Amino acid sequence: MSRSFEAGRADLTLGVVGAGVMGRGIAQVALEAGIAVRLADARPEALEEARVFIAGMLQRKAQKGQLAETEVAAALGRLETVGTGAEGGYGRFAGCDLVIEAVAERMEVKHAVLRDLERAVGPDCILATNTSSLSVTGFAAAAERPGRVAGFHFFNPVPLMKLVEVIGGLLTEPWVLDGLAALAERLGHRPVRATDTPGFLVNHAGRAFGTEALRLVSEGVCGFAEVDRIMTEAAGFRMGPFSLMDLTGLDVSHAVMESIYHQYYEEPRYRPVQITAQRTAAGLYGRKVGRGFYAYPEGRQLWPEEPPLPEGDDRPVWIGAVPAAALDPLRETLSRAGAELESGERPSPRALCLVAPFGGDATGAAVDQRLDPRRVVALDLLFGLEGRRTVMTTPVTEAACRDRALALLGAGGAKVTAIHDSPGFVAQRILACIVNVGCEIAQQRIAGPEDIDRAVELGLGYPHGSLAFGDRLGPRRVMAILEGLQAATGDPRYRPSLWLRRRALLDLPLTTPEGPL
């Protein structure tokens, strides 16, 4: 690390350019960490709004007992606002050890700021960009000293989202990245290192959640609400993909999907679906406009009602190929619901035939097991029988057989969702794609396994990191699901990453780092 930059120094001075939401958030956490901050903006009113906001946030912490009044006063005393509207406005940054720009996401704007900063700061001052979507290497191209330029990407709201991406451009020097990582820890954030690739780490890792959900809906498998219910009540996510897109704004989500897809030269794994383009054109952005995938009367999400469970008839149940560990719990569940279970090698002519494929669909299971497709219903046992249960039918499953399955699996108040035939149901497909994208990030050396999982948990709020999720499900099972999807659809979108394939074949955890050369 440069001798002139020590993240733990008591007299460290940080410059922040841009007093918007991100800039004032970065300034707040730096002030709380005891760092002097010079916050700059071309608009005087933005600086005043930022000062009032920061003071209010610090006072709120004092009221909660998280800061003493003396600490609030000292923090505000370390804040200096700097107007950059006049020529030479960046002169106050001359003594800064690090400057972070958080201006508009337009490269020409950022380049203009970078050129002004380089004329003002000392030769060892680190210059960082908080960009979420632009190339760090491209940003540094306008610098006279590109080696001291890096990405330092915080997430909104900065005080609550305890993650920051540290991104090196092609010419960034190692001491810069080490210094930024150390500073992130001083600010109370977890640094994750990533190379300069489209989406960096978090936005890249999040590609599969929304795009695969959209693909399911576009294929007519089920509706938006069904996907969200399955992913929250079965897979354990805090929010389903469509609720999430409504929260972030579809205009934002759609632009990111398209941008990353094209920046990766139409990589099929990131391929968007036409649904978002249509809904964006219609202005159905989500919460901020009152309607998106859901309606928001008075700001509250309105969920469509679920149809009541049918009563079903009394036909017996024959269980086909099911994982051994799930067989006894499934038998017990069905017996408690009053089902007569058949034990013969083949089902009787009237029996409901329950199957549980991984990566396959109900039609394929019926053909493989030589069953009457009119009586076949598939059950997703990826998460056993905990939480919401998902059943799917073949194109010709009789309504009576579907209703019998729903009645038995929904007995005792259990939640059940019925979907049309889909290789990999809903949760299997989405989770396998999430794991596969995480594996590809590791394979491309964009980030290490530990940083990938940390970024996914903290930045995306998933219940587990991408690779850790794969290890919980089993790498061989995840690969089998993807291979089943690719065989059924012919779509290279589902080809397993080499990182996944090699570790599955070797029975290694997906979190196993690459060995030395």
Token output for 210? 């929304």
Average pLDDT of span 92-100:
95
CA dihedral 287, 290, 295, 298 (to 10 degrees): 100
User: pLDDT (tens digit, 9 = 90+) per residue, 148-200?
Assistant: 999 999 999 999 999 999 999 999 999 999 999 999 999 999 999 999 999 99
Query: Is residue 413 pLDDT above 50, yes or no?
Result: yes
Catalytic residue among 32, 101, 165, 173: 165
Query: Is residue 86 pLDDT above 70, yes or no?
Result: no
Token output for 194? 């990533």
Task: In whole angstroms, give the CA distance from residue 372 to residue 394.
Answer: 10
Catalytic residue among 118, 130, 132, 497: 132
The pLDDT of residue 1 is 41
Catalytic residue among 203, 243, 436, 466: 203
Average pLDDT of span 64-71:
96
Active site residue 203: yes
Place of tokens 């036909």: 315
The pLDDT of residue 133 is 86
Report whether the peptide linkage leading into residue 157 is cis, meaning its omega lies within 30 degrees of zero: yes
Among the ranges given (78-87, 127-136, 171-180, 350-359), the one the predictor scored with the smallest mean pLDDT: 78-87
Residue 76 CB-density burial (10 A; 0-12 exposed, 13-18 middle, 19+ buried): middle
Could you tell me which residue, 394 or 516, shows the higher pLDDT? 394
Query: Is residue 292 pLDDT above 50, yes or no?
Result: yes
Query: Is residue 85 pLDDT above 70, yes or no?
Result: no
Average pLDDT of span 56-70:
96
Are the beta carbons of 210 and 203 closer than 8 angstroms? Answer: no
Res. 5 pLDDT band, cuts 50 70 90: low
Q: Measured at the alpha carbon of residue 370, what is the angle toward residues 365 and 373, in degrees to the nearest 5?
A: 65
Neighbours of 225 (CB within 10 A): 18
The pLDDT of residue 271 is 97
Active site residue 153: yes
The pLDDT of residue 2 is 42
Are the beta carbons of 224 and 218 closer than 8 angstroms? Answer: no
Place of tokens 């003002």: 120
User: From edge to edge, which strands make up the β-sheet containing 126-129?
Assistant: 79-83, 36-41, 13-17, 98-101, 126-129, 149-154, 163-168, 190-195
Res. 87 pLDDT band, cuts 50 70 90: low
User: pLDDT (tens digit, 9 = 90+) per residue, 481-512?
Assistant: 999 999 999 999 999 999 999 999 999 999 99
Active site residue 156: no
Task: In whole angstroms, give the CA distance from residue 16 to residue 5.
Answer: 17
Place of tokens 């850790």: 468
Query: Is residue 105 pLDDT above 50, yes or no?
Result: yes
Q: Measured at the alpha carbon of residue 206, what is the angle toward residues 153 and 435, in degrees to the nearest 5?
A: 125
Name the pairing type of β-strands 317-319 and 352-355.
parallel
Q: What pTM did the predictor assign?
A: 0.93
Res. 394 pLDDT band, cuts 50 70 90: very high
Query: Is residue 516 pLDDT above 90, yes or no?
Result: no
Catalytic residue among 32, 130, 153, 440: 153
Strand boundaries in 215-267, DSSP class E = none
Are the beta carbons of 466 and 457 closer than 8 angstroms? Answer: no
Task: In whole angstroms, give the CA distance from residue 473 to residue 384.
Answer: 11
Task: In whole angstroms, give the CA distance from residue 130 to residue 15.
Answer: 13
Task: In whole angstroms, give the CA distance from residue 92 to residue 107.
Answer: 24
CA–CA distance from 138 to each of 155, 221, 226, 502 (Å)? 21, 42, 42, 34
Neighbours of 65 (CB within 10 A): 7
Res. 130 pLDDT band, cuts 50 70 90: very high
Q: Measured at the alpha carbon of residue 477, what is the angle toward residues 473 and 482, in degrees to the nearest 5?
A: 110
Give strand pairing partners of 83. Answer: 41
Element (H, E) at 128: strand 126-129
Neighbours of 92 (CB within 10 A): 17
Q: What percentage of the chain carries pLDDT values higher than 70?
A: 98
Q: What percentage of the chain carries pLDDT values higher than 90?
A: 95
Element (H, E) at 376: strand 376-379
Element (H, E) at 80: strand 79-83
Are the beta carbons of 13 and 33 closer than 8 angstroms? Answer: no
Active site residue 204: no
Task: In whole angstroms, give the CA distance from residue 83 to residue 99.
Answer: 15
User: pLDDT (tens digit, 9 = 90+) per residue, 360-382?
Assistant: 999 999 999 999 999 999 999 99
User: H-type helices in 319-383, by residue range?
Assistant: 324-336, 362-368
The pLDDT of residue 6 is 85
Q: How many CA atoms lie within 13 A of 494 on its CB side?
A: 25
